[in-house]
Structure 1
Amino acid sequence: MPERETSAPPRRAPPEPLRSKFAGSLLGGMLGDIVGAVVEGESPRYIRKTFRSVGDILTTKHVEELFGGEWLVGRFTDDTQMSLCVAEWLLEEATPEPRNLLARFSEAYRPGRRYGPGVARILEAFPLHADEWRALATMMFPGGSYGNGSAMRVGPIGCYYYEDVDSLIEAARLSSLTTHSHPLGVQGATLQAAAVAAAVRATPPLSAERFVASLDEVLSRLQRTGQDVSAYRRAVRTISRGLAAGLEPSALAQSVGTGVTALEAVPMAICCFLAHPESFERVIEEAVFLGGDTDTIAAMAGAIAGAFLGSSAIPPRWLERVQEEHYTPERVERLAEALLEKALRKV
């Protein structure tokens, strides 16, 4: 009797469109963060007066930090650092646990990445209070934070669970609870992950109606669990109807906002993508010239646009401006491919 074959089947290369989409999302988020970091907190008027384009922004070498020192253009902020932690969390754990994600965040924490003060305190406290990790988020933010800090990092969740909405919702919730436990913070993270997943599934040309409908379906699922999603539903409808009526994102920003709350930043990131789904460059330019929390809005918009258009849509000249020794664009691309391979194995 012939011996049974026990060797594993040869590993197949991931489908090229998905490979490009996963890489595009991770790289797109990183590039949006890098560009937006240069003008974070500035007004639209100042940005337009100082820079003509994203290329102008990236040719700058340094900018002054608010509290002294210089920011090296080409570095990413906490937005990307935490996103990469999420990607590695999904990749390396059989069953992703939020405590382990918080441990990753804490280990990767470096003050020079522009972490928000509340999140910084959580990450600094974790090694001493690891057993009470569930309480840290509410100890620092009574009632929980509704900032955009958990939404900015969920791009990898949207990629990994692009065909599994229920798992996406749960993973986004668990990842958010580590630092941002207010319902608006959790819902914002879920909506951003859903937008990335919808972009992975979609193919050009984009049907804005179908894209928005997929987001509304996710909000409906949250609503069926007893959550009040009216604020996000209203914001998404404002941008979709405004864009359909010919309004620019800069005009819609007057009502939606460009601040640090998830309720402002997530809808505006989606708005920038929907305004220019055919061009990664225009999505990022739109996001950074809005002013406000530009690094986070551009990072989220870039993660969505990259997931839709793929990595080939990202200008190589922009990638050349990345000033990171550890997480180079090539390493991030390999991380995206490994994440895709694991995602395909679980199907």
Structure 2
Amino acid sequence: KPDEFGISEKDYAPSSNINDDIVDRIQGSMFGLAVGDALGAHVEFRPHSYLVANPVKDLIGGGTWGLQEGQFTDDTSMALCLAISLIACQDFVPYDQLVRYKWWYRYGYMSSTGHCFDIGAATRDSIQEFEKRQRKFAEDHSIPFDQIDFLSNRDLLQAFDVKCSQEGVAGNGALMRLVPVPIFFFRCPTVALEYSGISGTITHGDKKVYDACCYYGALIVAALHGATKEKLLSKTFYQDHFEWFGDRKLHPEVMTIARGSYQKLGGYADGIRGKGYIINALEAALWAFWSDEDSFEKGVLNAVNLGDDTDTTAAIYGQLAGAYYGYKKLPTKWIDPRASWFDPHEMKCEKSWLISMQGVKLLLYWIRQTGHPYFIRQSVQRAKYAQLEILQMIRPIMETIRNILRNQILYNSGFAHEWIELHPKPIQRPSAICYSCQRPIQQYRNFWIVSDSLHEFRDQCERCSCDPKQHVQVDYQLGFDMVNRENHQSDELATLPYLNNASSF
């Protein structure tokens, strides 16, 4: 809340419009991360000596994970989980972030392949610890376990210990996913830095992780605001922005980097390493930015060709470099859907970029529409409620259209015997859907469908303490079932051949 950070609406309330240059930088930072990740994916864990003999020069498939060229790994998947959490919660909620990381780990949520195939040991351990704590918390507070992922009560969220790591855990997995936080809170640098640090320590508990994420978050915020490269790489950047850090001193190893330890002409020969240790990773990414000769392509390839944790070093570089150069200055051959490698019929990797683009568009849409999430005026709240009511009125039409499209995709994907069926169920008691509370999510093949979670509602909600204006009353509950198409009759079935033919033109 504003009062908890010593800030006021007067000081930080944004205008309703966002500068096009900042939009370009936001897109650049998210896609910069994904491009770096995809470039390094096929040579992940390869040593520097291998890359000296076989340098990466372009997007290539196969290699370590057998991916199609352009597909990304855990770096981008976790960044998308974090971005979607910020959007869905309209706030920084570490519990929700961990839930989405768990969904990625267990179910392939936000994965480019539909499953989790690349996860660091520290991240895996913290997610498993989170699951243990969830089970105990559900028992202690008499919460049905199938609802534990959807906590919305602030008291319960505050009671849950989200620090699922410990001192000494200092891997680069905390830094590789960072950028959605400084993007989301870029208008309030002190808040952006504080949350940048916390975002890392929920899975990597060492103090130097907190400080490394704060420092890199500060660089990204400054880049979004148009800072020159000279200022970003200044050995006095930390001192020049001391108030952003809450007047706190950085860990000595992070401070060494802030003073320019990465500014080494020899690169690898002078000790720059693309390793899994967060200090090495931060130094390597900044070296690539410092030495890229104002070329994203040169910098990201230099980051990859350091070897070892190639995708993560390049993804970290891409966050800052993308924010500095902007989306329009990223190499077209790596981001343009018309590029030769981007052929959905031959490469089958369009899902990676569609997921990434959807995440970026959602993030931009939220920033454009609401400015900073802490400051929503009453007029905006009333408008939002009106939008909720309108959405509820047209919901039967929209859900039917969505379901036709889902079944068309199933039909075209070789699941001719499967069908997702809608079944609205009448409600006997006065009920409402709360748009502040999280709702259950069901998975059908590659579809994640938000289910109705009804709250009994008369004059006020009897299930949650959210603002009544966030509730929209309904007279039916919408459910979904997977059925066998061969034994199922539906008017929608007749539309599939037509839609299938129409979609080929």
Q: Given the two structures, how large is their TM-score scaled by the length of structure 2?
A: 0.57
Secondary structure of 1:291's aligned partner? coil
What's the offset of the Cα at 1:50?
A: 1.8
Q: Counterpart of 1:136?
A: 164
CA change 1:218–1:179 in 2 (3 A) is farther
Q: Distance in 1 between matches of 2:44 and 2:283?
A: 18
Matched, 1:19 2:41: no
Q: Counterpart of 2:351?
A: 325
What's the offset of the Cα at 1:239?
A: 3.4
Matched, 1:305 2:305: no
The answer as to whether partners of 2:275 and 2:308 remain within 8 angstroms in 1 is yes
The structure with the greater share of residues assigned to strand is: 2
CA deviation map 1:264-312 (0-9, x unaligned): 1012212211222621111101101111211111001111111011111
Q: Counterpart of 1:180?
A: 204
- Alignment RMSD: 2.8
The answer as to whether partners of 2:165 and 2:204 remain within 8 angstroms in 1 is yes
Q: Counterpart of 1:207?
A: 230
The answer as to whether partners of 1:219 and 1:233 remain within 8 angstroms in 2 is no
Match for residue 312 of structure 2 among 296, 304, 320: 296
The answer as to whether partners of 1:232 and 1:263 remain within 8 angstroms in 2 is yes
The answer as to whether partners of 1:23 and 1:333 remain within 8 angstroms in 2 is yes
Matches within 5 A, 1:1-347: 14-51=18-55, 53-55=56-58, 58=59, 60-65=60-65, 70-109=66-105, 110=108, 112-130=116-134, 131=137, 133-134=161-162, 136-138=164-166, 143-202=167-226, 206-208=229-231, 211-217=234-240, 224-225=247-248, 227=249, 229-239=251-261, 242-243=263-264, 247-252=265-270, 254=271, 256-276=272-292, 278-319=294-335, 320=337, 321=341, 323-325=349-351, 327-328=353-354, 329-341=356-368, 344-346=371-373
Secondary structure of 2:261's aligned partner? helix
The answer as to whether partners of 1:198 and 1:211 remain within 8 angstroms in 2 is no
Q: Distance in 2 between matches of 1:206 and 1:188?
A: 19
Letter of the structure 1 residue corresponding to residue 100 of structure 2: R
CA change 1:236–1:292 in 2 (3 A) is farther
CA radius of gyration, larger in: 2
Q: Distance in 2 between matches of 1:108 and 1:238?
A: 36
Secondary structure of 2:298's aligned partner? helix
The structure with the greater share of residues assigned to helix is: 1
Q: Counterpart of 1:3?
A: none
List runs of 5+ in structure 1 lacking aligned partners.
Answer: 1-10
Q: Distance in 1 between matches of 2:360 and 2:162?
A: 32
CA change 1:208–1:271 in 2 (3 A) is farther
CA change 1:220–1:17 in 2 (3 A) is closer
CA change 1:257–1:342 in 2 (3 A) is farther
The answer as to whether partners of 2:172 and 2:277 remain within 8 angstroms in 1 is yes
Q: Distance in 2 between matches of 1:250 and 1:339?
A: 41
Secondary structure of 1:63's aligned partner? coil
Q: Distance in 2 between matches of 1:14 and 1:224?
A: 29
What's the offset of the Cα at 1:77?
A: 1.2
CA deviation map 1:94-153 (0-9, x unaligned): 332211211121112246341112312332443442236535323xxxx24111111111
Letter of the structure 2 residue corresponding to residue 96 of structure 1: F
CA change 1:147–1:219 in 2 (3 A) is farther
CA deviation map 1:191-239 (0-9, x unaligned): 2212211221225x632466553345557865844x5522111123243
Q: Counterpart of 2:455?
A: none
Whose relative contact order is higher, 1 or 2, with alpha carbons under 8 Å and at least 6 apart? Answer: 1
Identity of aligned residues (%): 22
Q: Distance in 2 between matches of 1:279 and 1:28?
A: 12
The answer as to whether partners of 2:70 and 2:352 remain within 8 angstroms in 1 is no
CA change 1:79–1:223 in 2 (3 A) is same
Secondary structure of 1:181's aligned partner? coil
What's the offset of the Cα at 1:249?
A: 3.1
The answer as to whether partners of 2:187 and 2:372 remain within 8 angstroms in 1 is no
List runs of 5+ in structure 2 lacking aligned partners.
Answer: 1-14, 109-114, 138-159, 343-348, 376-505
